[in-house]
Amino acid sequence: MQNKKWDYFITILRWLVAATFIFAGAGKILNPTQFAVDIDNYRMLPYLLVAIMAVVLPWLELLCGLFLIFGKWKNGAALILLLLSFIFLIAISTAIVRELDISCGCFAVSPEAIKIGYTRLVEDFINL
Amino acid sequence: MKFLPRKPVVEAIFIIILAAVLGFGSNLFHPHKVKISFSRPPIEFVDDNIPAQSLLDVGINITEPTEEPILLITNQVVTLLKMNQAVLLDARSEKEYRKEHMPGARNLSHNVLLKNKNITETLPKDKWLICYCDGPGCDKAEILAYELIVAGYQRVYVYRGGLEEWKNWSNSQTETEAQTDAK
């Protein structure tokens, strides 16, 4: 009984994480150019890598989310999302330390999108 | 990779390959496709060589509202200011504005605009509004510019170089003047 409850809890948690990344990925797929600008604003990567990330990363988030929901290849998807969350955490932390005044690029991609800050950092910790 | 079970790693590699195929494939037909190249695409919407006086001839039709702010470079900003055709808007916070700002600039941050929409009524409609912030890595100017366009302003521009490039330009001007005086 205890195990069953734990399984339900894990499943719900998995779906929540999946929904977060599906939402994040879908928003970026709609406007990869703006997402490239958001990544570039972090000033961490050469432009070629920025462009590749802007094209691939949204689909990676979306696919991982879908795989997590449907339970197929869920361990592989979870591994990727763990690595991604860790990378996002580092990127946001360095941006805060460098006092960059930029949009996060986490969910919506537009100049009105949420600014980078400690709230984003905490969110990323929770994801991790 | 003894510390990781093999199966999840293999799965992860497959997912990455699938994402790459879908990503690059969709990018080919995407209306906002990313240009895959070593160099950054130019950020100016307007040709660098076009003098500010001619900006109206290159797609900026003041009878129709612009959907996106036009990015200006330093020489265009300087010319517009000399022509007394522009108002500079410092999109940073009041604290930052007090510390330093471009000569003649008014302070109008996005937050202040959100709290008091009527504040836009104090801005001239017959002049070009040039928004700026710290520099290329800051997007407050673009956020403000979008808000102004939504508020009905049709001649809204962003000086992407911002305070950073302005200071470089001012210093270069001072050095040139000093050299001229020495001669």
Chain B interface includes A31 (CB < 8 A): yes
Cβ A86 vs Cβ A50: under 8 Å: no
| Distance of alpha carbon A116 from alpha carbon A32, whole angstroms | 19
Instruction: Give the pTM.
Output: 0.60
Q: Chain A residue with minimal CA distance to B40? A: A47
Per-residue model confidence as pLDDT tens digits over A77-101: 999 999 999 898 898 888 888 766 6
Q: How many CB pairs under 8 A join A and B?
A: 107
Per-residue model confidence as pLDDT tens digits over B76-134: 788 778 777 788 999 988 888 899 999 889 998 877 777 777 777 788 877 788 999 98
Can you give the pLDDT at residue A57?
Answer: 95
Q: How would you label A28-45 residue by residue, b for 16+ Cβ within 10 Å and e otherwise?
A: bbebbbbbbbbbbbbeee
Per-residue model confidence as pLDDT tens digits over B37-66: 887 665 443 444 444 445 544 444 444 445
Can you give the pLDDT at residue A41?
Answer: 75
- Token code pair at residue B62: 């003041």
Q: What residues in A contact B5, CB-CB < 8 Å?
A: 75
* DSSP classification of residue A104: -
The more confident residue out of A78 and A116 is A78
Q: For the complex shown, is ipTM > 0.90?
A: no
| Distance of alpha carbon B145 from alpha carbon B120, whole angstroms | 12
From A53's Cα to the closest Cα of chain B, the distance in A is 9
The more confident residue out of B13 and A37 is B13
The more confident residue out of B51 and A67 is A67
